Amino acid sequence: MTQATDIPTWGLTFQLKLMAALDAAWKAIEAATDPAVIRQARDKAKAIGDLAAMARKVVLINPTPRGKPKLAETTAAGLHAAQGVADVRAMLMASQAAACPPEAPVAAPGAAPGDAPVAAQAEHSRRALDKLKGGRRGRL
């Protein structure tokens, strides 16, 4: 069989060949009186029908042509995603700055009883960031 690059054209030519072979098989059935010849022609017609069904499936596999995405749309989507990451970083920096003012030194865990609310806020913001990232239980 010849190689064809255009699948729909190949499908049409193959279908025409199969229809011609099927017509020849039916003429053989109509002209014959011998049961063996009729059985052989019917088997041939059945094989032609199976080939036609497979050819239709092959033609349907052919993908539809799609255009490439526009560069401006792709770039805009990438910039939007990058801006979202930058916003999360800014929110994290703001929450850390609010939790630990620059003039107050960061104490070690368990250093003073007055530092417990600041540590709780930091833990809360860390968990919120984990949820945003999709970690642990925060997955959708």
Convert the pLDDT of each residue in 29-55 to its tens digit: 899 889 999 999 999 999 999 999 898
* 109 pLDDT higher than 90: no
Tokens found for residue 134: 């999709």
Radius of gyration of the chain (CA): 36
Convert the pLDDT of each residue in 44-98 to its tens digit: 999 999 999 898 888 888 666 677 666 666 666 666 666 666 666 676 677 777 6
Q: Within 4-115, where are the H helices?
A: 7-31, 35-61, 71-99
What pLDDT sits at residue 50?
92
pTM of the model: 0.41
Average pLDDT rounded to a whole number, residues 118-134: 77
- Higher-pLDDT residue of 140, 32: 32
Average pLDDT rounded to a whole number, residues 122-136: 76
Q: What's the CA gap between 10 and 62, in Å, rounded?
A: 11
